[in-house]
Each structure stands twice: as structure tokens, then as C-alpha cells.
Amino acid sequence: MRTKHLLYTMALASVFAACTQDEFVTEGGNSNPLEGRKSLGKITLVEAEGPSTRWVVNDWDEIVPEIGDGFSYFLVDVPRQDLAGQHSYPIDNYQLVNNIQTNYVFKKTAQGFTNDANLVEGNYLLVGPSQNVQGRKPVEITLPAEQNLAFGTDGKVDPLSIIKEFNKSGYPIYIGHRFLSEGSNYNNVLPTRHHIFAYPEITVVNNDIEGATEVPTVVKVILKSEDEEMPFVINAPLNNEKAARLLTNESFKAVEGDKQYPIVVGAWEGYRTETLGVNEKNLVVGQTNEKKTLVNQDAIPADAEYIVKDAETGDAWKNFMFNNGLGGSTRDLLDNSANKTSVSKYIVINMPEGGVDLKAGESFKFNAIIPAAAYDMNENLIMYAVLENGDVWKKVMKANSEKMTINPGKRYPQEDYNGMTLRGDQGMYFTIGVHEGSDGVSTYKQVKDDELEGFGDADAVMTTEQLVAALSNPSSTTTMNITIGGKDVVYDQRAEAALANNKAQIVNILGHIKIESAEKEALTINSKVSFADAVINKGTVVFNSTTATLGTVLVGKDATLELRNAGFGIDSDNDGTLDAYSAEIHNVGTLKLYAATFGDVYNYNVVEVYNDMGTKQIKNGKNACYDGSEIISKPINLESKMFLKAVKEGNEILTATYTLDENVDFPITIESYDKDHKAKLILGKNVEIVGKGEIVNNGIIGEEGDAETLKITRGANRVLTNEKDGVIWNKVIIEGASHTMAQIELLKGVNVADYTKAAQMTNKGILNAVEVNGLLTLEAGSYVNGEVSMTYGGDGEINNTGAGVIRGTVDDGIEVYAIFNGLDLSSATASEAAQKAINGYTTSTKVAVARLTGAVKIGNTDVTLAAGPTIKELDFAANSSLTMGDAKLTIEKELGIAVSAKNILWSGNSENASTFNFNSNKKTKKKYVDVENGKYVIEHGNIETKNCQSNIGTWKDEK
């Protein structure tokens, strides 16, 4: 993975990184690296003692995780194939590899670091913070070549601001290693964590003791490595084998008959005391029983062998190698292959805002980040201070020894710590003055500003102009690596045009870069250009290459990325199709996918799918933190949206198919090209529409015979609309209200708290089986082909005003109704028309209730209403009424009466002449749910009669 760039100034573990266990599919299908291993169950990791390192920086090296922070525990070995049988000490049965077999993310809780997965025996590499590494790709170790200081709340330079920004970026901070085995008493103890980089404390001083009138303003400090063999490594893959061998600190007793492999025991002094119980500083060396005292100045050979006696039993343990742990070089951890490593001669530190004013005799300090290393001090390390007026001050670092070692996690050279240096002042190596002077060994002097003109041309590209110049170089005929150092470098039409004479077969652009297209013109990236870490800043960018690759990409809010191919991948399942692609895309704009050639997509706005995605998954989210092209700390609300669209490309129609394995809390629209080419959404498991989820289907959901279900949960904004061309094969479950009418009837006069209305669905197309506990609306021309069921005790309703066809059976208790906006019964002709409308619903519509929502009008002519072929009940709903003249209204006994509104107004012309004859044998039904004082209560409605003779007497509360 190419990790998120430095300017993502928010810890995004829960937003952009994998926060759950990721099991990887075995590559090539030849073997399973987890097969046959002993299961260790769930493990909670706790501190052995003292504080660890934190994400939030309190001090220059104090970065301890807080609740919710996490790290990755990578399994990095395979079972050995060269053993005659299993060895008794388990570490001997595994071979370290550079593949990552699994990624278990452990998160900080009050109890320690926890993960829900069952771990297995093997070598585990800890990387913090947690990394979104999948497909067995390596972890990317990244160092920003351009670093930015910030002011603190006191208005002064915050000396730790670079480290704080770096730690929030998501880049790896530290690593550790542990071999986990059955019965080991340290399985649940956090491994020792080792920093990857060094944090030199840089001092900028105005050593003008006479106090010049002009106060200089410092705008940049630049570190330069003149050592051709030791430039700053700013990006490279972590080498799992190197890291594990440097950090392994486990020990096992050998058993007679085992083949002996050397066992590394790590940083010896601390380990032997903590694990073996040896408290004195004497160690038995070799077979001579010679005792040797260990002190800092004594060099201990890396292959030294020891005999160690167990503190408890006194038994001798054999074949140990002393391991100095993570020593003085970041490079020791990395894959330093030329085509995988990005280097820069320069590290640029930008002062905050307009710069820092520095009066005579004043100074300020800050910590930068550089690779840990033993630096050649033969005038190979240079510091510059650049002033606002263009003056440049230079210091060529010198030392009293050939090497200056600055170790991982340290801010001073090792010589300053152990007292071996002759220098009196710690940290003077990294002091730069803005006035002529000396630190006692090295001098500060002013140089012409042209010494820094075009700095980085041969290394990290700092400007767009330098990028264009580099791409214009016609000399390369194979692979060209270009490292981006500046934060505002842009790849645009100028860069594309510069490639006209470039003969390189592959151009790798390493480091973070912005990509922009012209306002009304899409930018199609040259098929030989690869990007490691990019932001699509604005416009439309098309990437279509089977030879180049995409790494980490952020699609900004004003941008569109059209992904037609994301480079070559690995055919992991030998099906002839390349997969395991590297592209990791974070989308807060618009992402158009024409192929499944990507690694991971994290969507916070609009994704459009135009082709078969197979089992590729998109992780949808909300509240991404971004502002234009950069991620910032203030969250803003974004709503994920997905469009599956079947489209015509030339003579080919691309049919979009996408498998959904997560619940829908974002809108999905499925659009077909025509009736024969429908986009399709496949449910990988039982899916629920939750939150602000909405699906509008003009294509196909599911497949015939699919046993998975699609559930619409109750609550606002949860909608499923099956349009006229839509087909849904899966069973749809429409969840009912939080309280059924039967439950509310039992609570007469009692407020029912937390009442939530039932879920709703509209069907305009073809629906298979459906469980209606809420409301299903059928429109004209729609079909329900399968069974219509209801959970026992539910209150399912189907609004079939549109006379949709229900071919399956309908459970008893589901009220199928049609809405009548009033009935005009004022004349014989009108009454005949109204009766015809009631009788118009046929058996196939299964409408049993005529729900009245308007006025029923009766003139001076007697009227009789009878049941229709399917309609057996009149339901006086909200906003309905009955107005009578001097006439008699007779209800035939087959037709029931229901009241589902709070108050129904029945008014007659006179007491004697307006008569309502209710001759039904059916029981009348009354039900009503009302909102009162923010709570839902049941009130039995009354029928108000004005000057109207009603022979049904007092209205009874009958169900």
C-alpha cells in the first residue's frame, strides 16, 4: 500500500484504514499459509511495564496510543518445507517471508489492545499505526521530503509540530516483532516497539552579538546529503524478513534430535533480565565459562554464541545469537532495490505562515524527521537556513569522528549519549546560524542564493516546472523514477505534453503529487505513467493502463476520476484474470469505475459503476475530513452515493454488476441501458437498508433462486423503490412499526414511548416474495409474483390503488387497500359510478379495503352500498367525512366499516330524514395512532353526528 500522504492531518484509522481483521486469499492457489497451525485463540495485548509510544505527541518521543487507536499485527512467515518432521521448539518450523499473510488490527481499549480474531502460531510483525495492507503487498515506509512547522497556542514555533503532523498522517511510526506459540507466557505482552526514523533537534540561532538593526525572518531550513551512497530514503517497502530478524527476541528450549537453527534473542541485557531471570550483568560466554561484563563501549559480535542457564532450573540453553535490535539505520528495515526505493538529497522544513523573526542572540528549536543512519561526516551533510529576503546561510557539518550515528527514535547523535564524543554541547551538529560564526567545529557562512537554485532537480522534484523538465528528458529508454518533494507539484496537460519525447517504457512518479485537468477537457494519463500517491485536485482525469499502476489516490470534491484500468495485477486464482491490484482510492468527489482493476475503494461521495465488478467491494462512509484536495481536521458531512449504470461504449454495452456485502446506509441507483441490458446488484449476504439508505432500482437485484434477503428497517429515509423496469429476485422484508396495533390496544390510555413508524416500499416493476410488516405500495403495471407473508402479530399493509397484480398468496392480517378520494353518491348516476369503482378491483389485485380519504356525499336519494368482488370493507381514514341529505344510507351486510382516523364527521340534513342504516354482520374496527407531546398514544376515535339519525346506537370499541 502507498500510505496516505502527510497532509492528511487527521488520524483516519476509522475512516480510511482497515480497522478489522483482514484474511488474505492464498496467492497462486498452491498452499495455505495458515493450514495446520495451532490456534492460539483470542489475544489481548497489554504493556509489560511503563508507558508506550503514543499517537498524540506529548514529548518528542512520547506517542502512546489512546482509546480507539490501533496497530497491525502481520503474520509474516510460512511453514518450513525442508524439515523431516515438526521440531519441538516451534520457531524452527517456520520460514520468514516478505509476504503478509494476514492483517489483524489491534485497537486500544481500557483492558489493553484487542482483536476479535483467533490468532495462529507464527511470526508476527507489529506496525503502528494500523495499516490498510491487503493482497500481501508490503508495508510502505514513507518520509516526507517537505515538512511543515506550525505555531503553538503561545504564538511561538511548536517544536513538535512536524512529528504531530507525521503521526496523524497514518504513515508507519514504529515496528516490533513477536513469535507467538502455544503456551508462551509472553503471548499477551506487547512486543518492544522500535521507532523507524530519527528526530534530530535542530536549532536556528541568530549569533549576531552586536545586534544588527535588521531582524532576519527565517522561512526554510534545508538538510542536504552530499553522500551519493547515503541520500535520504523517503519511500521504500518494508522488508519483513530484515525487520523480523533484527527484532526477534524469543527463546525456546532445544529438544534432543531437533535440527538446530540459531535462535535470535534480541536486545540482550533487557531481555535476559526480564525473561530468563538473570539479574547480574555477567554472562557466561562460549565453552570457556569466561565471564564478560557488558558495557556500552564494548562491541559485541553479531554472531556471538552464548551458553545461558535457565534461572529456574539451571539447565543450559544452547545456540543463541546476540541481536542488537534495531540499530542505527532505517535502511536496515527496507527493500533497497533501485526500482522500489525513492530517495532525495534534500529534506525541506518550512517555517509556519510568513516565517520566524529572529532577533540578535535569540534562537528556536524544533524536531525534524530524517532516516536513522550512521552519517558520513566528511563534509557530506549540509544545512541551509533561507531568509525571507533571499539570503542563504550554510553550514557544512563536521565531527571529531568519521561517522555520526543518530539512532531510531533519538534526537541527538549516539556519540552525545554515550559520552564517547569530545564535544561538550549536545545537539550542536544540527545547529545553524544566520550570522557568521562557528559552533566550535563547523562554521556558518552566507552563500549566494543561486547555490540553491533548482535544488532537487536530480532528486526530489520541488516544483511543477521541475517535473515538466524531468519528463521532457528523452534519455531514458527503460524505467524512469521521479520523486516528488514539493507539496504543490502538479501533473497536468503540461506534464502530458512533456512526455512526447520521453523514451522511457515506465515512468514512476513517487511521493505525493496533485493531478489536475483543464476546466472543460479531460486529462487522459499516458499509459506508461505510474503514481504512488496522488490527489485528483480538480477536473476529470482518465486512467487506463495495463502496464502502469496507481497507488494511493484521493479524488477531491471538485474532481472526477474515470478508472478504466489500474495497471497490471496478479492472477491469484489462475483464472486468466489479473487481480490483486494496488490502487487504493479515497473518493470525496466522483469516481467512475469501468473495471475492477483496483485494490480498495473508500467512498465518501459518488461512485458510478459501469462494468462487472465481480466480488470487488467498495467501503462506503460518511463524515470524511477534507477540504478541496487535502484532508483536514474539521469533519464535514458527505453522503456516499452509488450509481450502477449499464452503458454503451462503442459497439459494446457494458453491464454493471456489483456485489454488496454491507448494509445500505447510502443511496444506490441501478440504471439499465435497455430492457435486455440491465445493471445488477447482487446481495452477498442478507442486507438491510439502514440509516439514510435508499435504493432506486431500474435494473436487477439478486438472482433467481437466491436465498438472501433484503430488509428495509423502520425509520426515516430508508426507502426501496423498484421502478417499472426493475426486477427484484431476493425476498424483500419490510419491517413493521416498533409497536403493533394489537400491542397499543393493550396499552389504552398509556403513552407508548419510542414508537417508530413502519418501513415503506414502492413497487413499480416486478417483485418476487415479500414479507410485509410495514407498507408496500403497488403502482399500475407492477407485479408481485411470489408469496406475500407477514410476521405473526404484525400490521402489514399494501396500498394497491394502482391495481398492481398480486399473483402469490397473501397472508391473513395483511390489509390490502385502495385509496378513494371521496365517493360521490349524490345521484343515481353518481352512485352507479362509485359502485363501479369499488367493484373495479379484481381478484388479481387482492384489494379488500376501500380506504376513504375524502368526503362521502349523499344527496336526497336513498343509497345502498354493497361489497365488490374483492373489497369487503370501507375504511374511514384521516380527512374523510360523511355528509348526508334527506336520504337513507344502507350498508349491505357483506360490507364492513372501519375507522382509522381520530375523528370522523358524519353530518345529516335533518334528524328525521337523514338516516344511516348499518345492516352489516361484520364487526366494526377502530384503530388510530396519534402523536401527542412528542409521544405516540392510542386514542379511540369518535363519530360525531350532527342532526343525523344513526340507528347503530353508541359507537363501541370493537376490534
Separation CA 178–CA 251 (nearest Å): 11
Number of H helices, E strands in the chain: 9, 88
* 720 or 510, higher pLDDT: 720
Q: Are β-strands 263-264 and 370-371 bridged in parallel, bridged antiparallel, or unpaired?
A: unpaired
- Mean pLDDT in residue range 33-38: 80
> Which of 330, 268, 265 lies closest to 298 in space, CA to CA?
268
Q: For the chain, first and last CA: distance in Å?
A: 64
Q: Provide the pLDDT for residue 935.
A: 52
How does pLDDT run across 279-312, given as a tens digit for each residue? 333 344 433 334 343 333 344 344 444 445 544 5
How does pLDDT run across 729-748, given as a tens digit for each residue? 999 999 998 887 777 767 76
Residue 637 pLDDT > 60, yes or no?
no
How does pLDDT run across 356-395, given as a tens digit for each residue? 999 998 999 999 999 998 888 777 899 999 998 889 999 9
What H or E segment, with its residue span, contains residue 219?
strand 217-225
Considering 167-171, 254-258, 616-620, 927-931, the range whose residues carry the highest mean pLDDT is 616-620
How does pLDDT run across 554-578, given as a tens digit for each residue? 898 889 999 998 665 544 444 555 4
Please report which confidence band the pLDDT of residue 656 belongs to, taking 50, 70 and 90 as the band edges.
Answer: very high
Q: How far is CA 644 from the centre of its chain?
A: 21
Q: Provide the pLDDT for residue 947.
A: 62
Q: Assign residue 213 a region (left: φ > 0; alpha: ψ between -120 and 50; beta: otherwise).
A: alpha
How does pLDDT run across 789-815, given as a tens digit for each residue? 999 877 899 999 999 999 999 998 899
Q: Could you identify the residue written with the cell 554541547?
A: 425
Task: Tell me if 211 sits within 8 A of 100, measured CB to CB.
Answer: no
Separation CA 758–CA 775 (nearest Å): 7
Q: Which three cell numbers stand for residue 604?
A: 465518501
How does pLDDT run across 134-159, given as a tens digit for each residue? 667 788 888 888 888 999 989 999 99
Separation CA 74–CA 177 (nearest Å): 9
Q: Provide the pLDDT for residue 941.
A: 63
Q: Which three cell numbers stand for residue 694?
A: 435508499
Q: What is the pTM of this model?
A: 0.62
Q: What percent of the chain has pLDDT over 90?
A: 30
Please report which confidence band the pLDDT of residue 816 belongs to, taking 50, 70 and 90 as the band edges.
Answer: very high
Lowest mean pLDDT among 187-191, 209-213, 823-827: 209-213
Please report which confidence band the pLDDT of residue 928 belongs to, taking 50, 70 and 90 as the band edges.
Answer: low
Q: Provide the pLDDT for residue 926.
A: 63
Q: Where are the beta strands (DSSP E) in 18-115?
A: 22-23, 39-41, 54-55, 64, 70-75, 77-79, 94-96, 102-109, 112-114
Q: Provide the pLDDT for residue 316.
A: 55
Task: Tell me if 221 sits within 8 A of 431, measured CB to CB.
Answer: no
Considering 269-273, 438-442, 463-467, the range whose residues carry the highest mean pLDDT is 463-467
Q: Provide the pLDDT for residue 848.
A: 93
Q: Provide the pLDDT for residue 703.
A: 93
How does pLDDT run across 896-918, given as a tens digit for each residue? 888 777 777 778 887 777 877 66
3 state DSSP class of 631: coil
- Overall size of the chain counted in residues: 959
Please report which confidence band the pLDDT of residue 770 belongs to, taking 50, 70 and 90 as the band edges.
Answer: very high
Q: Provide the pLDDT for residue 767.
A: 97
Q: What percent of the chain has pLDDT over 70?
A: 72
Task: Tell me if 779 sits within 8 A of 766, measured CB to CB.
Answer: no
Radius of gyration of the chain from Cα atoms?
37
* 261 or 543, higher pLDDT: 543
- Mean pLDDT in residue range 652-663: 91
Task: Tell me if 941 sits within 8 A of 907, measured CB to CB.
Answer: no
Q: Provide the pLDDT for residue 890.
A: 82
Q: List all residues 6 or more positions away from 337 whose beta carbon is below 8 Å from its beta carbon.
A: none
Q: Provide the pLDDT for residue 281.
A: 34
* 713 or 868, higher pLDDT: 713
Q: List all residues 6 or more positions away from 353 whose beta carbon is below 8 Å from its beta carbon.
A: 151
Sign for the CA dihedral angle at 372, 373, 376, 380 comes to: negative
State phi, psi for 639 to the nearest 5 degrees: -115, 120
Q: Provide the pLDDT for residue 158.
A: 93
Q: Which residues pair with 524 in a beta bridge?
A: 542
Q: Rounded mean pLDDT of the chain? A: 77
> Which of 11, 34, 358, 366 lies closest to 200 in space, CA to CA?
366
Separation CA 227–CA 205 (nearest Å): 26
> Which of 797, 809, 805 lies closest to 779 in space, CA to CA?
805
Please report which confidence band the pLDDT of residue 633 belongs to, taking 50, 70 and 90 as the band edges.
Answer: very low
Write out the DSSP string of 689-726: E-TT-EEEESSEES-TT---EEEE-SSTT-EEEE-TT-
Q: Provide the pLDDT for residue 283.
A: 42
Lowest mean pLDDT among 43-52, 329-338, 550-559: 43-52
Q: Provide the pLDDT for residue 29.
A: 34
Task: Tell me if 94 sits within 8 A of 86, measured CB to CB.
Answer: no
Separation CA 516–CA 61 (nearest Å): 38
Q: Could you identify the residue written with the cell 484532508?
A: 631
Report CA-CA distances (Å) from 135 to 138, 326, 580: 9, 27, 6
Q: Provide the pLDDT for residue 315.
A: 58
Q: Provide the pLDDT for residue 142.
A: 86
- Mean pLDDT in residue range 511-532: 90
Instruction: Return the DSSP state at 384.
Output: E
